[in-house]
Amino acid sequence: MDDRNMDSSSSTITDVATKHPKSIIHIDIDCFYAQVEMLRKPELRSEPLGIQQKNIVVTSNYEARKCGIKKCMLVSEALKSCPNLKLVNGEDLHDYRASSNKIFTLLQHWKSPVEKLGMDENFIDVTNLIQEKIKSTNLSNIKFTGHLYREPETECPCGCHTRLKIASQLASEIRQKIFDELGFTTCAGIAHNKLLAKLICPLHKPNEQTLIYPEHGEEFMSTFQSVRAIPSIGSKTTETLISQNIISVSDLQQVAVDVLKKHFSSDMAVRLKNLCFGEDNTPVKQTGRPQSIGLEDSFKTVSVRSEVEEKFSALLQRLLMLVREDGRIPVSLRVTLRKKDVKRLSSHRESRQCQISSSIFTVNGGVITITEAGQQKLMTIIMRLFNKLIDLSKPFHLTLVGLAFTKFQERMTGRSSIVNYLMNDLSVQSVLNIQNDCDTSASSMDYSAVSPSSSTTTDLSDGEVEPSPKKPKKVNWIAKRRCLSREDVASPSKLKVGELRLNSKELEKVSELRLNSRDRSLTPRASPAKDNMSDTSDNMKDIAEGGNCDECPSYVDKDVFNALPEEMQQELKSMWKNPANSELPRTSTRNMNKSKPNSILKYFVPQK
């Protein structure tokens, strides 16, 4: 063993505060939808196979690609170039999504941050894992696995080459496990950042992997003929760049940042410059549960209201199946339309959303269900949002309708918690920004896969996902309440529970909170349906079905009340009859201690 080499590598490799400290693996499943179909029906493997959505072949197996089938080809063209092409309808995304989730789950095995990107891609930040491996690896003769974009002329002094070589071995191990356990072949890109890992991934495919070293990033980027190849550069940014005669990534590399600053914000200009040289420091953000669950349907044109209603109704049916699978109760609904501007021959998206009452859904044996009446209510809300988006006194032309549930409540468990009954939206998730056709921002890395223009797609929006809060248990919740800090105040889900106090005024809020979200003012549940919609976040309290038990105030939910133990029902009733009995001075700990051992008051006293 060469002692000199050993010394130099060990002194740099273990120091992650280096120039290229990270090791990122990007994994992409080969011909994903086609592989799902081939795993289902192995006899398809030997045939050219296309996956059809509407009149488009969205993807195909590699047999079909040999005959010239390309992604998003028209079915008619595809059949011309490959007459024996087998077509499978891929409009039902259920199995694709299920496989996608299995792969994501499997990737958690390496205990490193995994960021899911669309259906068939994941980033894994293996930086820490490699630090661990380095301790037990003989570094003197370490080799990369798979392909190398370019041989290095010299070793990077920060030690990244060794780390990336280990990452490439790890990538191979990960791909093997995906194949062994789930049967999918994959490609991987290995680099010191997400940008290069993603872009290098398809260099050799299928079932191959490629490693690129940081010093080759600039040259590799210059091989892209269009700036659009950079994941976070959307159509609007591309348009602006093209208007300045910046077409290729190489053009972007040559333009002065000050020139870009004339057309973009200063931050964005700098970011564009970094990206075109292969520099990207966006972190791999562990993906949580999707922040929104949505479906879209696109078509040539729809100009009649009843047809729109039909489209929404069909989407809703499918969306409710997804909600059932997901298991969370939606509390916000978004309607999206793509309007065709006939004069300008262009189209643009518009969305509206509003809150919906969680009582539209019921949970039976842990399964979310919705009645016919509940579905009708949703359709009423959807069409009301539609009416807000479309001026029906004028002709309209739509090319897409979309529905998405954009916020969810997490249910608490444990029968004994009164908080479960009265308030089960302790962990409301934030509203996802509407993803637009026109991406003008390059300030955050948007690696989202583009969906075909004419298909039904699922919006399990993975970009900007914040990990979903775990289902809180009552005990944890009380413990957390005790630790509320200033930052926690920004999280109303925690704060509101802590603020609960059982007097008639406050109890009103308990009921209100079932509909309440992060930044909305409290409105009694029995208040008339509000119609106060805006483009991004509306506050439509559409369901007002108070007056559920004889003695209950109108804002109390019948189901909720009836589900309470008899003892609690009695206690609440007597308190409603005489609210003064239940007043607890906020500061009085003496009074708290005096409350009956079984009193529901104990659930509502402010925690110290």
Give yes or no for a contact between 312 and 386, defined as CB atoms under 8 angstroms apart.
Answer: yes
Which range, of 15-23, 24-32, 274-282, 462-470, touches Mg ion by CB under 5 A? 24-32
Tokens encoding 335: 């309607």
In the complex, least distance from residue 106 CB atom to ligand DCP, rounded to whole angstroms: 17
Tokens encoding 16: 């992650």
- Give yes or no for residue 58 binding ligand DCP (CB under 6 A): yes
Pick out residues in 17-36 that bind ligand DCP (CB under 6 A): 28-33
Work out the end-to-end distance of the chain between its first and last CA atoms, rounded to an integer number of angstroms.
Answer: 62
In the complex, least distance from residue 29 CB atom to ligand DCP, rounded to whole angstroms: 5
Task: Choose, from 37, 63, 121, 571, the residue flagged as catalytic.
Answer: 121
Tokens encoding 405: 């549930």
In the complex, least distance from residue 206 CB atom to ligand DCP, rounded to whole angstroms: 6
What distance lies between CA 543 and its chain's CA centroid? 28
Output the CA–CA distances (angstroms, integers) from residue 488 to 318, 371, 425, 511, in the order listed.
37, 37, 16, 22
Q: Please, where are the H alpha helices in 500-552?
A: 504-513
**Cβ proximity to Mg ion, 115 vs 410, nearer residue:** 115
**Cβ proximity to ligand DCP, 71 vs 530, nearer residue:** 71
Site string for ligand DCP, 416-455 (x = CB under 6 A): ---------------------------------xxxx---
Q: Which helix (H) or strand (E) is 148 found in, with range?
A: strand 147-148
Does the annotation mark 508 as catalytic? no
Which range, of 119-127, 151-159, 362-370, 575-583, touches Mg ion by CB under 5 A? 119-127
What distance lies between CA 495 and its chain's CA centroid? 25
The tally of CA atoms less than 13 A away on the side-chain side of residue 579 is: 11
- Residue 218: CB atoms within 10 Å: 15
Give the separation between CA 144 and CA 159, rounded to whole angstroms. 14
**Cβ proximity to Mg ion, 120 vs 462, nearer residue:** 120
Give yes or no for a contact between 69 and 78, defined as CB atoms under 8 angstroms apart.
Answer: yes
Pick out residues in 121-160 that bind Mg ion (CB under 5 A): 121
**Cβ proximity to ligand DCP, 119 vs 188, nearer residue:** 119
- Give yes or no for residue 117 binding ligand DCP (CB under 6 A): no
Partner in contact with 280, chosen from ligand DCP, Mg ion, none, beta carbon below 5 to 8 Å by kind: none
Site string for ligand DCP, 125-154 (x = CB under 6 A): ------------------------------
Which distant-in-sequence residues (6+ apart) come within 8 Å of 116 by Cβ?
100, 104, 122, 287, 462, 465
Of positions 39, 72, 88, 247, contacts ligand DCP by CB under 6 A: 72
In the complex, least distance from residue 59 CB atom to Mg ion, rounded to whole angstroms: 8
In the complex, least distance from residue 95 CB atom to ligand DCP, rounded to whole angstroms: 12
Which range, of 23-31, 314-322, 467-475, 510-518, touches Mg ion by CB under 5 A? 23-31
In the complex, least distance from residue 570 CB atom to ligand DCP, rounded to whole angstroms: 57
In the complex, least distance from residue 408 CB atom to ligand DCP, rounded to whole angstroms: 25
How many residues touch ligand DCP under the rule CB under 6 A: the total is 18
Give yes or no for a contact between 199 and 275, defined as CB atoms under 8 angstroms apart.
Answer: no
- Give yes or no for residue 122 binding ligand DCP (CB under 6 A): no
Tokens encoding 176: 């093997």
Burial of 602 (0-12, 13-18, 19+ CB in 10 A): middle
**Cβ proximity to ligand DCP, 59 vs 287, nearer residue:** 59
Give the separation between CA 471 and CA 494, rounded to whole angstroms. 12
Q: Which helix (H) or strand (E) is 301 found in, with range?
A: strand 293-302
Q: Which residue has the tokens 């011309």?
A: 80
Which range, of 26-34, 163-171, 504-512, 529-537, touches Mg ion by CB under 5 A? 26-34
Known catalytic residues?
Answer: 121
Applying CB under 6 A, which residues contact ligand DCP?
A: 28-33, 58-59, 71-72, 119-120, 205-206, 449-452
